Amino acid sequence: MKKTVLFASLASSSLLFLSGCATPERYGASATMFEQGQYGPARELFKDQKRNPEKDGDKYVLDDLIVGAASHAAMDFDAAIAAFDSAETGIKAQDEALLAGKGVAQASAILSNDNSLPYPVQQYDKIMANTYKAIDQLAKGEVDAARVELNRAGERQRMCKVHFAKLIQKQEEEAAAAKRDAKFADAFKIVEQSLANPETEKNVEAYRAMTEDWGSYADFMNPFTTFLRGLFLALYGEDASDYEEACRLMRQCHAV
């Protein structure tokens, strides 16, 4: 019982932060309501929709995420889980569309600020949808279901590590190639001269002093999700491997 109360408390104190490149007026209104703690009215803004599940696909992902977040914050756990489940369906549809090569036209339209397009789901949206759904299930005492969601969140974090590692490698290779390209030689020369300037060096050192305590994560991770997974395994671990994993996850959080 105490464990359920603990996760119900987590549900009441956590919020899902969502953003889009261009949002209609009601998205702005819902954000204002969130800030004011009016979670019920925030989700009511999205209840008048007439959907066609076969045709709409990922059209309402952002709406579902907002309704899920509002229901989660209002501690209406059943409604939150249902909304996040619906969002997952839309996320799957978007992933399948991207794999099918339909993402190029969408990306072009996104750059042109086309509001008619579905919300482009980000990696953190997927991770946090699983994370908050797990909290809602734990608040209801559905431990096994929560374990599944946290495993999914962990797998998505792992996929993020791979994704961003490839992205960083690509950018490093492009930067190295640019340095070797003669047409960029003058530009790099100007940069080097600028860095050698005493005034620039002074400013760089001042900035470095301001950020000397900062650091980067060794790999991509969402500390909250990592902490929650560690806490879950510490409380509900079934064997030694669960407790070992809990320790590993907590060490990751401590390193942050």
Give a yes or no: residue 127 inside a domain: yes
- Please write the tens of the pLDDT for every residue from 186-226: 787 888 888 888 888 888 888 777 776 666 666 667 889 99
Q: Please tell me the distance from the alpha carbon of residue 23 to that of residue 72, in angstroms, as a whole number.
A: 22
Give a yes or no: residue 97 inside a domain: yes
Give a yes or no: residue 111 inside a domain: yes
Instruction: Supply the range of the domain harboring residue 117.
Output: 2-163
Q: Please tell me the distance from the alpha carbon of residue 246 to that of residue 6, in angstroms, as a whole number.
A: 17
Give a yes or no: residue 192 inside a domain: no
User: Please, which pLDDT band fits residue 95 given cuts at 50, 70 and 90?
Assistant: confident
Q: Would you state the structure tokens that stand for residue 189, as one six-digit string?
A: 């020369």
Nearest-Å Rg of the Cα atoms of the chain is: 22
Residue whose C-alpha is closest to residue 178's, from 187, 169, 190: 187
Q: Would you state the structure tokens that stand for residue 1, as one six-digit string?
A: 């019982």
Give a yes or no: residue 95 inside a domain: yes
- Please write the tens of the pLDDT for every residue from 144-186: 999 999 999 999 999 888 888 898 899 989 888 877 777 777 7
User: Please, which pLDDT band fits residue 107 given cuts at 50, 70 and 90?
Assistant: low
Q: Measuring CA to CA, how many Å separate 72 from each of 9, 48, 149, 222?
A: 11, 20, 15, 19
Q: How many C-beta atoms lie closer than 10 Å to residue 134's C-beta?
A: 29
**Residue holding tokens 């590993």?**
248
Q: Please tell me the distance from the alpha carbon of residue 229 to that of residue 18, in angstroms, as a whole number.
A: 22
* Amino acid in position 68: G
> What is the number of alpha carbons within 13 Å of residue 3 lying toward its C-beta?
15
- Please write the tens of the pLDDT for every residue from 60-88: 888 899 999 999 999 999 999 999 999 99
CATH number for 57: 1.25.40
Give a yes or no: residue 218 inside a domain: no
Give a yes or no: residue 206 inside a domain: no
Number of domains into which the chain is organized: 1
Give a yes or no: residue 176 inside a domain: no
